[in-house]
Structure formats: structure tokens, C-alpha cells
Amino acid sequence: MFEKEVGSLNFLEARRELEFLEKELKKHDELYYNKNMPEISDVEYDKLRLRFNKLEQSFPDLKKSESASVRIGFSPSSQFSKITHQNPMLSLDNAFSLDDIDNFIGKIERFLNISKGNIEFCAEQKIDGLSASIVFVNGKIECASTRGDGYTGENITENIKYANDIPKTIPIDGKIEIRGEVYMPIKAFEELNRTREINEELQFANPRNAAAGSLRQLDPNVTKSRNLRFFAYYIDSFGSDLKIKTQIEALEYLKQVKFNVTEYMLCQNIDDIIYYYNYIHEIRSSLDYDIDGTVLKVNSLDLQKRLGFVGRNPRHSIAYKFPAEEAKTKIKNILISVGRSGKITPIAVLEPVELSGAIISRATLHNFEEIKRKDIRIGDKVTILRSGDVIPKITSVDKKSRVDDSNKFSEPEFCPSCGAKLTRHQDLIDLYCQNRYSCPAQAVRYISYFASKGCFDIVGLGEKQIRELYSEGRIKTAADIFTLEETDSKWGVPLSKKPSWGDISAKKLFDNIKSKRNIDFSKFITSLGIPGVGETVAQLLADNFENVENLFNLSKDNLIEIDGLGNIMANEIFEFFQNKININFVNELLRHIKVNPEIRHKNLNKSDIFFGKMIAFTGKLSRFSRTEAKQIIIARGGIISSAISSKTDFVIAGENAGSKLRKAQDLGIKIITENEITRNDDR
């Protein structure tokens, strides 16, 4: 599917791949976290994310902010009440080779300014289960939750009590949080599937999905019957006097209070890491639970705290995954998908094939050049590789088994949704439908995005309802959402009288729409669907432009000056606000809503000297790496700028500062040292 190495791609090729991978990751996150029905294996998903991360690292101008590199898990199901985690439940980055491990350790050493070979690690088994958090207060379980989106999880307090290996009480006063993996033993999984087969019920794909489906039951009695188990791996004492200083000590304490932990090992060098990895891989088949690798963690908890996290991943830990497999299957059909941006993507429909318990039934072919180059046809037998640059990847076609009357697949000339003639952007391979607001497929997907949680968050208006309203003509653009109630009677049958709605549902929808007529500036920007602009980039734009009128009048120079925006993303934003059709849509939307500026970092100390200030760096820092220093500034509410201008409030100068320092002095900007950025830090 992706034949080129990341390093040999140009910007346009990388952009196409990132768009594809973004869509795939979002789909598979929902299938995995919310529906417990994965279409691809964990290893395939890991490779998909690995390709995405490599692309972002190699092409920072293309980096998206709301997707694979920062998204954790998926939004909690609406069937459960929600619990907000006191500290985010992050997702581990992956390593697939010793080179990856060397790179991981090297980054830590550079970040901390620690010489090579002076960091200890704790190695543990990586359980293929469902992450859960359990909070104890004065020794008793107060609440429990799933990881959810990393910040808010589903309330599973009653259900977690029926998982084995979790003590009902622990001997400690105060508040303490235990995190770990809920899993189903392989024997219990096999027995459950045998029972479901007898009862003609849908069988679970693998033990992880059986565990997730069993724990996330509305009836705790179902959970009770499923023989779930729990491995603990994390403890947060919330400032109590436990005096735990290392991950090894944390695991020892967890064993003392009767939690189960996996077999672990202190690793003082790369040879220890290799030994543990090979040992666990060797005994893997003898275990009664699924593991898909090992986990490597910086042993010192103080260093873990300093390292923090980047995007969705902690810097201090990584999953060292086991190698993968391949399988053969058959292409039953090739479908054409129209994305929210108008991109046309061919999709291979496969005869379902199982790889380590996960069922794969589709593979995205990326573009029509891919089909042409590999001569992929309907009816072909193909090989799918789990360990590759992308997931799932069709690596080869068995042309010897091809029937004589098979036909080459022809790329379409017209959009399958609206019939508009398809075009290619200059120097791009992908086909696009340019009919953004009138193409039904694009319109429905964009309106669904507009109404989703990260944008206007209109409860009761999901894709199913939007498709119905769109097909009836009640809404044609996202702005029409706000006229639904006033035009309800003109359609003959009001929503309240339709079988799929009813009085209560219709009233709730109209009330929800009314409540969303005021929106924060950053969420408004997110909702416009500008390519590459998610919540983080939208916040950057909201921080730098005070109102919608300023967005209409922005220039490329304005955008490029913003730290975090590359040339390509800046160009996308600029072109969006130069398009008259987009401007007309935004103006129509503004007739129905009010956009409110939002206060950045609401929970931070507004009296902090860096709060809301523009800060630039110059010269070499000695105490911190540049990355860690920026992280501290952002945590205190500061805004990082890569350029120095009259808007810059502070310049942090290190050794050998050059022209930036002179420019700051000429402009009268206050110059400070790196020691001043942690004046409240006792390190």
C-alpha cells in the first residue's frame, strides 16, 4: 500500500498518507474502544499508528493536532456516567526493534541532559486487556473507570467489584489510585465462546474484546459471570506518605496490598532489556492470558515526572511489541468512498480473515495509482502483512490463481455521491470531488463532524439522524441545523410526528440546538472543518486572532509567525478564508450563532508572570533541553513563539545567543535566563 520509505516521500505524498491514516485511525479507535468489534489486529493497528507518527516527525509542517498523535482512546460511551481522571490515562508509544529502543532511550537522555547509560528501567509484560482506574478512599473502593478518551472514562464502579484479583479493601488511609489491565483468561474466553456458539450468539474475536464487553455491561450480574481478572501496574498516592520512589517499589507495594502484578525485571543496560524481551516472548505461549509485548518504563518516578508526556504518549515508557504474522485472503469487491474533504478512496472488501483473533474484512487501497501499479482486481487472492509500514497492507497479488476473464479496475470519472466530475489537485495523485457543500456524501459527513462533540456537540444529532434530515431536504448545510425548529411545519410531517422521532426526541433536539447558539471561538474554528485544523490548532488561531473578522483578513505572514503552524497548514487556513463559498457559509452560520472569545488556560494561575505572555527562546540552555523548557512555559500558561517581534513579552536567553538576542534588545523586550522559568520549582 505504501511502498516508499517515509524519508523518500515529498510533502504532497506525505500529506496524502496522513489524511488516509487519520481517517483509518479514527475509525478503528471507535471500533476498538466503544464497540469492541475491531476489524484489524492490535499489531496492524500499531503499525498504522507507527507510520502516522513517523510521517508527523519527518514532516512537522503537516502535523495535525487532534488525531493520532494526541488522541487517547475514544470518547466514553453515552450509556455510562462519566468520571474525570485526576491525571490523564495516556497511551504508550510502540517500539518494534532494538533501533526503536535505542532511539527511545536516547531521547530520554537528551531530554534530561543525562549521560548515556545512567538510567535504570523497569520491564513488565504488556497485558492485552482493558485499562482501568480504581480509586480507594480510606481503604475502600470509591469509584472505578475505563480509560475512555484519556481524560474522561466510563463509570464502571459496580462492575469492577466483580473482577477477581482486586482486594475489596487495602490497609491505607487517605486517597489512592490504582491502575491496571482487566483481562479474561484464555480458558475462560474459550469457554465463553463455546457457550455463545451453543446459544447462537455472536462470538467475541479475542480475549481482550471479551474482557471489554464483559466489563462494560449495564447489568453488573453479567460482569460477575465472566471470570475477569486484573493486573495492577500503577499507583498514585496523591501526596500521602507512602514514599515510593521507583516503579519497582510501586509494584512491590501493589503485591503487599494483595494486587496481582506481572513478572517484572530491573534493567540496568540494553542487555537486560533484550534478555527480558526474549524470555517473555519464549514463555508467551504457556501463559493463560494474552500479551503482545513488553513495557519498558524509566524506573525513577521523579524522572518520570520530569519527562512528562508529548501528545498522547508518556516520554518515560514504551511498549516493545512482539513480531507479527501474515495471511492470505480474497478481494470480494472494491468500493469507492467519498471523504469529508472530497477525497476519493478505493476500499478493498475482503473475505474475512483472522489474524491472532482479530477479524480483517477491509483494506484501504489508498489511491488508484496503487491499484494500477499492483494490478489489483476483484476476485484476486492477496497476501496481507501484519508487520509492515501500514495496516492492513496488501503486499502481493497471486496472479497465477487469477481467472482468465478478470478485468482491470478502472478509476471513476465522476463522484459516486453527487455525479460531479472528479479532479486532481496539481501534482497530487488522489482524485477529489470539489462539490464540498452540495455533494451528499461530503455534506452529511461534514454536518456530522460539525455537530460532533469536539465542535458544536449537539446531542441527538448523530450521523444517522443527519442522513435522514438531509435526504428529506430539512438540512442541506450545517447552518440549516439552526433553522430546523422554525421550518419544522413546512415539511408536512413535523419531526414530532415521525416514527423515528416523537414528541420528546424532537423537543430535546430543538432544546439542544438552542443551547448551542453560543460557542467558544476555538470550538467555532474547529467546527469549520479546515483541513489539518483540529482542537489544538484552533486554539492557536483563537489565541492569535481575537475575532472572526480578523480571520477573514488574515495573511499568510500572520499564520507563519505562529509557533506550531507550518507552511502547508498555514496555506490551507489562508486558502480556506479566501474561498468565497466558504466565506458565504461562515456568514450564513454567523446569522444564527454568537461566537464568544474563550479564556485560555482557565484553570491556571492568571497572576503567573508567564500567563498569556508570548515567549521566545534563543541560545543553548544548560539546565533543561529546549523541549522541556517549552513544556514548563506552556504549563504555566505561556505562549511559545518561534519568532521575535513587538508582540513578544519575554526572551529566554541561553549560551551563545545570537541575532535573536540583539533583536530583542533593540525592541526593548525583557531578557531572562532559564533559571527564572521554574522560580516555583524546587528541583
Pairing relationship of beta strands 229-236 and 175-183 according to DSSP bridges:
antiparallel
- Neighbouring residues of 57: CB distance < 8 A, sequence distance ≥ 6: none
Contact 380, 406 (CB under 8 A): yes
**Residue 638 CB-density burial (10 A; 0-12 exposed, 13-18 middle, 19+ buried):** buried
HSE-up of residue 317 (Cα within 13 Å, Cβ side):
26
Alpha helices, DSSP H only, in 452-501? Answer: 463-472
Alpha helices, DSSP H only, in 92-177? Answer: 98-112, 157-160
Please give the grid coordinates belonging to residue 436.
464540498
Task: Bin 239: left if φ > 0, else alpha if -120 < ψ < 50, else beta.
Answer: left
**Residue 158 CB-density burial (10 A; 0-12 exposed, 13-18 middle, 19+ buried):** middle
Helix, strand or coil for residue 523? helix
Helix (H) or strand (E) holding 503: helix 503-515
- Cβ–Cβ contacts within 10 Å for residue 603, how many? 5
Distance from C-alpha of 525 to C-alpha of 521, rounded to nearest angstrom: 6
Distance from C-alpha of 223 to C-alpha of 210, rounded to nearest angstrom: 11
Task: Bin 550: left if φ > 0, else alpha if -120 < ψ < 50, else beta.
Answer: alpha
Buried b (16+ CB within 10 A) or exposed e, 214-239: bbbbeebeebbebbbbbbbbbbbbee
Helix, strand or coil for residue 146? strand
The yes-or-no answer on residue 224 being catalytic is no
**How far is Cα of residue 170 from the mean position of the Cα atoms in its chain?**
34
Handedness of CA 96, 100, 104, 109 (dihedral sign): positive
Helix, strand or coil for residue 344? strand
- Active-site choice (63, 126, 297, 660): 126
Alpha helices, DSSP H only, in 520-654? Answer: 521-527, 535-544, 548-552, 556-560, 567-576, 580-590, 626-635
Distance from C-alpha of 42 to C-alpha of 208, rounded to nearest angstrom: 10
Strands lying side by side in the sheet with 264-267: 93-95, 317-321, 291-298, 121-127, 264-267
Question: In the block, which residue shows the cell 470518547?
Answer: 75
**Cα–Cα distances in Å, from 466 out to 9, 197, 503?**
38, 36, 18
Q: Which residues are catalytic?
A: 126
